[in-house]
Amino acid sequence: MLESSKSDMEDRISDIHGALVNLHGEPEPPRDMHPVDSVIHTILSQNTSDENRDNAWDDLVSEFGHNYEAIENADHDELADAIRTAGLANQKASRIQDSLRTIREHTGGEYSLEFIKEMDVDEAQSWLTNIKGIGDKTAGIILLFRFGMDYFPVDTHCERLAKRFGLIPEDASYARAHELLTEHVPSDIKYSFHRLLIDHGRAYCTARDADCSNPVCEQFCDCEYC
């Protein structure tokens, strides 16, 4: 399949997407969230579960509200305490404060990412990843979820399933996986396909002892467990 034309690959992706929708249902749209909140939220999500991330987010909002100035200028230990349930609290507190400082300095005093709308995808991705603690995946989630940009964030589930479904080479690096999936996944299903690959990777196509007894894997997967 990897030797196929771009149109054939897009057709295969559309077929896989349809099968995933039939199995899991269409994902809910992205949570309505201020873009700066999204930066904080995605930092909290790093290396933890959705539940821990959401609990930390709720604790942060309870402590500081959406007062970005207060969060940026908070005592480091106090901020780390507020987000403790997300894990890596000291690291994430520093990253959150660094992010807010960078945004404020770039805008001349505002906590706003409206300027991102004036950038193309590559420029926006480059600007975001220059912030300490924001990598390609975090930047991609912000660009796709908040700004609807033509960008495909790749996490461990997306990468694993894309390889098992023959969408990218087995030896593709993270950067190459992102490049190929951004190119081939149709714009109108990028968000949905990203979410569905994660859902399927968690429910069935796990890294070890995958459960291949489902119509998606039976039709499209060729992993060692199928």
Domains of the chain: 6-28+152-220 (1.10.1670.10), 35-147 (1.10.340.30)
Q: 3-state DSSP call for residue 2?
A: coil
Residue 196 has pLDDT above 80, yes or no: yes
pLDDT the model gives residue 31: 83
Identify the pLDDT of residue 226: 80
Stated pTM of the model:
0.87
**Average pLDDT of the residues of the chain:** 94
- Please give the C-alpha separations between residue 197 and each of 23, 128, 185, in angstroms, as whole numbers: 12, 24, 12
State the number of CA atoms in the 13 A half-sphere of 214 facing the CB: 20
The pLDDT tens digits for 143-177 are 999 999 999 999 999 999 999 999 999 999 988 99
- 83-141 pLDDT, tens digit each: 999 999 999 999 999 999 999 999 999 999 999 999 999 999 999 999 988 988 889 99
